[in-house]
Every structure is written in C-alpha cells, then in structure tokens.
Amino acid sequence: MGKKIAIAADHAGYEDKEKIKKTLDELGVEYEDMGTNSTESVDYPDYAKKAAEAVARGEYDQGLLVCGSGTGMAIAANKVPGIRAAVAWNEEIARLARQHNDANVLSLAARFTSPEELDKIVRAWIAADFEGGRHERRVKEIEAIEKEEFKTAS
C-alpha cells in the first residue's frame, strides 16, 4: 500500500487500537503506535495532538485515532493546522471521507463500533484515495478557513 500511518488511542480505544494494528500488519501498512499503551485513564487530546502533528509535518501520510466516541479525538486533531479529521461509523463514511474530503485522519468510536466493523472501516479508508475534481475546490475552501482567507458566499 505504501502508506505510513500514525495510530493513537486513549484508554477507551486502547484494545481496539491493538486490533487495528493487526489489520494494518495484514495490509502491509507501515505505522507507528503513538500510545496510549494501556486501559489506564488518560487525556485523549494528548494522543490526538501527537498523531495529528506528525501527519501535519508530513512524517506520516494519514492518522488513525480511537477513543470512546471518536468525536473527542477528531475535535482535538482538527485543531492542528493541515488536519482534516473525520469520524466514521461504517465503511461508506470512511471511504467518502477520503474520496470527497481528503480526510488525512480518521477517528473511530470504540464504544459504539464492533471490532468486525472497525476492521472493515479501516480497510475501506486505507484503500480509498482522494478523487480531486469537484471535491478539490471544497478542500481548498476548508484550507482557506484555516488560514482565515475564506469569504462567505453572498
């Protein structure tokens, strides 16, 4: 696949992160585990930030985050300039996040997604590529918001 992935989780996502690593191994995807390393309570923004910053610096092509709902880590990751983190709860949402939104970070909900579905979601997201075309203009608009250059349509 040729992609390099930064993967991180909080305590609620730790066990699923470990399962996702096996999926990445099966796919031959290179990754770095950025923590956490147990189910002991931690602050999810620390791990989301670490992975998102590594993606934003270009050290990794994409990031995978896992927390209880997926939402907290996505919000934290989206605070890092250059990150477009999406929460996916099924294969189609994950695929569309890559194809249409060029999401470079995917956040998953450990408490609401079965391990089997997580596996399918990860596989779909890794296999998908940004389609560009009509979607590219919209991604550039997102980047303009980040740079405070966005002008609203009248």
Active-site residues, by number, are 67, 100
136 vs 20, 71, 122, 132, CA distance in Å?
29, 25, 23, 5
Which residue in 91, 92, 49 sits closest to 67, CA to CA?
A: 49
Provide the 10 A C-beta neighbour count for residue 137.
9
Supply φ then ψ for residue 15, to 5 degrees.
-65, -40
Which residue in 10, 76, 73 sits closest to 42, CA to CA?
A: 10
